[in-house]
Amino acid sequence: MIVRNYFRFRNSIRNGVWPTSTNNLGVACAFSVYLLEYEPASAQAITAYLKRAVQGLPLPSKTPRWLANLIGSMGISFIFFITLMKVRQYLLRILLAYRGWMYENVREVSLKTKLWSLTVKFVSGYQPSLYSCQRSLPRMPVPPLEETLGKLLDSLKPLCSEEEFKEYTKQANEFESTVGPRLQRLLYLKSWWAPNYVSDWWEKYVYLMSRCSLLINSNYYALDNYRWTPTNRQVSRAANVVYSILNIKRKIDREELPPLLLRNTIPICMAQYERLFSTVRVPGEEIDELLHFESCESRNIVVWRKGLFYQLSIYDDKNQILSVSVLERLFQDILDDADKHKECVSESERSVAALTGLPRPEWARIQKEFFTSGINKDNMDVINKAVFMVIMLDKSPENISDKGKILLHADGRTLWCDKSLNISFFPDGQCGLNVEHSMADAPAMGHVWEYAMTMEVIEKRYLDNGQVMPPPKSFKQSNFTSHRRIIWDITDALEKEINRAVLFNQKNNDDLDLEIRNHDKYGKGVIKKARVSPDAFIQIALQLAYYRHSGRFCQTYEASATRLYQSGRTETVRSCTEEAATFVRAMVSGRLPKEELLKLLRLAGNIHQKLYRDAMNGRGIDRHLFALYIVSKGLGYESPFLESIIRRPWTLSTSQQPQQQIQANIPDINLEPFRAMCSPGGGFGPVSDEGYGVSYMLPTEYNIFFHVSSKKSCPTTDSRKFSDILFKSMDDMRLLFDTPQLE
């Protein structure tokens, strides 16, 4: 408790005064005392001012000169320090609002941007803590209404018939001339007093008010290494990964993790890290609630094995994290105990976790009826307050796609979907994550996961026999509480609900069609030779693949981060543009020469890149329209225009996964020994029942991983077929710049 309060107090001071430092106060005070005591001739004007200030202090007449000088210096230095702090904070916020750097080529930076970058570095403080930069981040601006509507109509051109487009144009013009400006003014007002004009509504209405099951529909998964596993011992891998994640959790709690910087200069919002651990999404009949527990309350993890739950303390009496050797031994004890007692526990009790996969109103009703008293309530409190869940599986995946399915939904009775993090470990040493989405977006948890995976690569964590490296002899583990098994009270009525939940989950799981593939013919290294953004190239390839697959274009969602602003989360990039559609039609027709097709590809790529930068810059389309829609509902306005736009399905929901977020000296992943150690990233379920969910990662210069999901119940979707067409489309696009003279 004392240590926690110390770090909290220290960090509140550091964050409050950043980009200045309390050292500035000490230096200013010492310099003032020096001037008053020694009166150097070179600083007579400053010394005279300080003397007048000291003489004006209401001090007793007999106060010694040195004491008066000290008191006066402290007061003057404090005023100077506060002034300097406010000026630097305000100046830094103004500087960080500049976005010219984003639209410039990295190799052709303007003089203006170079001077701006130097000024930002000069004004910024040294060694900021995790949340030091938060106050200096600008607030996300509300885009002009006319601009948003214009971009919206441009995005609809390749998707609508001429008659539909005319109707949308008519509705947009009517909206802009009637209710739109009033809704816009209210958004302006909110943007002035709230940290972010849309993020709180996005969390509430898109995530917490969603009533569908979290399995597949909301939670996402992440894989570990591709073709490399550091040990084939399940308990050893679990001990090391859990230990690494607990270490980074402690860094987050103490704010010792440095904030992420773009181009080593521009800070981004780190607010999402606060709820990565010790967080649970509690179901409600109409809206869920996110509960986050402080580290003093959250001091255990919960381990699942063959349907049995175990509470495991992760700290000893001296508040040290349990060593990897101790964790390895405790995990083995849990496996042995679960294997021994599995047959003593009913199948319904071993399937309690299935309830978390039900639609939220049903799970809320069941939780209220069966889990608000007695031993079940105590068990729920233990799980809710746990740092995270550890899932010790008893069967290894057959292939990488099977692995993704297990991590995303398992068998419908394994994952505790409400928890912010479930870490699953397979018998052969492989592992992965299942993450609840409402508390944070994928890059934040991806950063944590990348840290854990990287530590296994750059440090020797295992002995030759696969067991963990023991801690140094100097380390002394204090006493700690051993694990205990959690026992549920299962009534006949609750058993029926559990059995129904298992069937519901298994039906949904069986409907998921997931295909994970490695495109290793080329990667971003080759794409860059075409002078096209790799992300734009893949998005255009997706448009070509979908057109070849379905014979039409579809509304496409690509997630972009808005973390350059306070409390920023995501924005949508509508990547099915008129320019992309023109290129796709030309490719399919086969009438144009390579040179012309390459020009169309580059034009479409440039347009996509601008849209992506606009989205990062807070000048996207969909979050603005969403906020306008929420305001209209709050005021009781009916807007057929907003209703029709908001309800258009996202047939292709896509996302590029972040990588290399660790700011440290780590091996080059493009080197041959490390390519197999990269992570393929993760994925999610389809947003539309008649569409695809596509996530992709470009970990090296030589390959690209794709995660393609769809519903088997939809007769027009097939993840394997779509992946085949996508890879063929990428091969065809490669031919456009495979000739040296075109590069």
Give the residue numbers annotated as catalytic, written as ranges. 437
Cβ proximity of 172 and 228 under 8 Å: no
Dist CA 112 CA 133 (whole Å): 23
Residue 430 to residues 176, 306, 399, Cα–Cα distance (Å): 54, 17, 11
| Alpha-carbon torsion (604, 608, 614, 620), positive or negative | positive
DSSP 481: P
Which residue is associated with the tokens 């928890």?
419
Quick count: other Cβ atoms within 10 Å of Cβ 677?
20
Angle, to 10 degrees, between the axis of helix 162-177 and the axis of helix 145-156? 170
Residue 287: left (phi > 0), alpha (psi -120 to 50), or beta? beta
> Which of 432, 419, 427, 438 has its CA nearest to residue 301?
419
Cβ proximity of 395 and 427 under 8 Å: yes
Residue 480 to residues 163, 324, 328, 382, 391, Cα–Cα distance (Å): 71, 14, 15, 17, 22
Long-range contacts of 467-474 (CB under 8 A, 24+ apart): 467/231, 467/233, 467/236, 467/328, 468/236, 468/239, 468/240, 468/324, 468/325, 468/328, 469/324, 470/323, 470/324, 470/325, 471/323, 471/324, 471/325
| Alpha-carbon torsion (284, 289, 290, 291), positive or negative | negative
CA within 13 Å, CB half, 106:
5
Cβ proximity of 450 and 661 under 8 Å: yes
> Which of 655, 643, 644, 658 has its CA nearest to residue 693?
655
> What type of residue sits at position 429?
G
Quick count: other Cβ atoms within 10 Å of Cβ 116?
18
DSSP 258: P
Quick count: other Cβ atoms within 10 Å of Cβ 544?
25
DSSP 259: P
Which phi and psi angles does 459 have, rounded to 5°?
-120, 145
